[in-house]
Chains A and B, each alone.
Chain A
Amino acid sequence: MAFQYLDFEKPIIELEQRIEELKTFNLSNVANVGDEIKNLELKRNRLVKDIFEKINNWEITQLSRHPLRPYTMDYIELITDDFIELHGDRGFMDDKSIIGGFCFLKDGETGKRQKVLIIGHQKGRNTKDKMCRNFGMPHPEGYRKAQRLFKLADRYKIPIVSLVDTPGAYPGIGAEERGQAEAIATTIDVLLNVSVPVVSIIIGEGGSGGALALAAGNRVLMMEYSTYSVISPEGCASILYKDTSKTEEAANSLKITARDLFGLKVIDEIISEPLGGAHKNKAEAASNLKNSIIGNLEDLARKDGESLRTDRINKFRNF
C-alpha cells in the first residue's frame, strides 16, 4: 500500500520520501539537517500548490478514484458516533457495495447531537475487500436496501445524508434479471418523496444513474476533487469519439468536476479538500464534510416536511 500514487503526484511523493528519510536520520536533531527538512517542506508545499493550481479535469478524474481516497466508511468513522449498520433488502441479498445505518453526527459547534441516517456506496481497499464491495458497483439489492432505509428515516423523522462514490451500477446478468433499472428508478422516487431533509454529497466518483439514485437530495454537494457524470470519460471516448486515446479530451468536454457543475448550477456547494486532495489529510477532509453537512441540515431544519418534499421535486423539475 506504500506506493500508491498518480503520475502527476510523483514529484510530490519523491520529495516527501526524502523528507521522511531525513527525519528518520535526524533523531538527534542536528540543526542544519532540521533546516534542510524545513526547506524541503516549503519546496514540497510550493510544488503541490503549483500542481493543483493547474490541475486538469482528467487529473481530477484520477483523484476522484485515488486508491487512498477516503471512502464512505472512513467518513462514517471520522464524523459519526454510535453508527449502527443495517443490512439487507429483505428479498435476495445484502449488497455490500451500499452501506447504511443510523448514527449521531459528532458534535458541531452548537453541541447538539444530530441524528442522521447515513448511507453511501462503499468501495474496497484491498483485493479481497474490493471483491466483497464489488468495486462500489451496486446490484438492485443495494438500491432496495437504500429504499428500505430511506423509508425508515422518513417514518422516524430523521434526516438523510447520502454519500456517493460509485463507478456506476453493476452491469451484469443477475442485476438485469432482478431489475436494476427499476431499482434505481424507484430509489430516486423514494428519496424525492421523503419528508425529511436530504443532503447528498459526491465524495469520489459519481457514476451515472447508479450515483443519482443516492443523490436526489435537497442539497447536492461535491467534494472538491470528485466527479459526477452521465458516463465515464473512458466510456464517452469509446462511444462518441470511437477512440479510447481520447479519454482526456472527453474528460474535459464532459464537464464533470465540482467546479464545472457548480458553474452549471447542477450542484449547490463545493466542499474544499486539503492541499493535495482528501487522501493527504483524511481528518481535515472529514471535518470539512461534517461542517458542511451540519450547516446544510441546520438550514433545512427550518422547513416542514411538505416543503422539503416539494422543494426537492421543484429542484429536479428545473433541469
Chain B
Amino acid sequence: MLLFNSKKGKKEQGKLTIPEGLWIKCISCNEIIYKKELERNLDVCPKCNYHFRISAQRRAGIIFDEGSFKRLFEDIFPEDILSFSDTKKYKDRLKEDSEKTGLVESVISGEGLIDNIRVACSIFDFNFMGGSMGRVAGEKVAKTFEYATMERMPVIIFASSGGARMQEGIFSLMQMAETVAMISEYKKISLPYISVLSDPTMGGVSASFASLGDIIIAEPKALIGFAGPRVIEKTIHQNLPEGFQRSEFLLEHGMIDMIVERKDIKNTLRDLLSILINE
C-alpha cells in the first residue's frame, strides 16, 4: 500500500532531489530560493507558499517550547520479519534511510510542552522510507495513545506518510487496526486528539489514526487521500482535476476542520488545547 516507491519519490519530492548547496528549487513553482531564507521561513516557499516536507526533528522544534520535547519508546527497532527483498533488501533500505535521516524508524514519539500545555505526540518523517507505517511505527503511535491515556494528556499526531509499509506485509496492514484500537480506548477519557496532516498523508495511514482526530488540521496544499492519484488515473482512465485530493479539496468535502499554515500551527494548537482541555 505504499504509494510512492522511494525511487520515484526521490525524483519528485522536493528536498531530496536538490544537490547540497546554497540554493534550492521549489518543486511547486520552480522558484530558486536561498536555502537560509527557506529555513527562516519554516521551509515554506516564500513565493507560492508550498510547504516543504520537513524532518520530524525540525517539526518538533517548530511545535514545542524550547527544549521541552522528550523522546519516548526509543527501545524498539524495526525488524525484517519477512526477510523481504525487492530491488534491494529491506534490511539495506532500513540501514540506508537510517544513515540518511539519523532516525531508526519513520516515526518519533514523545512528549513536550506547547505554551506550557503538556502533550503526547508522534511525528512522521517522510524522509525515512516515505514515512511508511510498519510494525514499529504503528507500535509507537499506539503507545503514544496508551501513554496519554495513563498520564491524562492530550495527543497530537503529525502524519506525513505514503501509507502502510509493504516490506512488512500483513503486519503493516494490522497497524491500522492496532492504532485505531488504541484511539478508541483513549477516547473514553475527556481529552482531545488532534491530527495534523502534511504532504502527503495516504493509504493505510489516512485510513486509520490520521482520519480519526477529534480535530483534523491540514497544512496547505497537502496531498491527502486513500488511493494515490496515479492509481486512480490508471483505474478510471481519466485525468484528475486540478487540486484533487489536496487540503483545500478535503476542506470543501468536509473531511478536515481547517487548513493552517506552518507559521500559525503552534498558536492554533495552543488555542485549541486551552479551550478543549477542561480541568
Binding site for B on A (CB under 8 A): 82, 84-95, 102-104, 115, 141, 145, 152, 155-158
Contact = CB atoms under 8 A, between A and B. Distances in A.
Contact of B254 (A84, A145, A155): A145
Given A82-B275, A102-B276, A156 B258 contact: no
B190 interface: yes
Contact of A87 (B190, B257, B272): B257
Contacts of A91: 254
A94 B253 contact: yes
Nearest to A155: B190
B278 interface: yes
A90 B224 CA distance: 13
B89 interface: no
12 contacts: A84-B271, A88-B255, A90-B255, A92-B253, A94-B253, A102-B276, A103-B275, A145-B254, A155-B187, A156-B192, A156-B276, A157-B190
Contacts of B271: 82, 84
Contacts, number: 61
A7 to B, nearest CB: 40
Nearest to B191: A156
Interface string B249-279: 0011111111000000000100110011110
Interface of B: 187, 190-192, 211, 214-215, 251-258, 268, 271-272, 275-278
Main secondary structure on A side of the interface with B: mixed
A88 B254 contact: yes
Nearest to B258: A87
B257 to A, nearest CB: 4
Nearest to B188: A155
A221 to B, nearest CB: 24
Contacts of B214: 152, 155
A90 B250 CA distance: 9
Nearest to B257: A86
A115 B251 contact: no
B215 A86 contact: yes
B190 A156 contact: yes
A157 B191 CA distance: 10
B275 A102 contact: yes
Contacts of A152: 214, 276
Given A93-B254, A94-B254, A152-B214, A84 B275 contact: yes
Contacts of A86: 215, 257-258
B252 A156 contact: no
Contact of B257 (A82, A88, A95): A88
A157 B258 contact: no
A149 B139 CA distance: 29
B256 A88 contact: yes
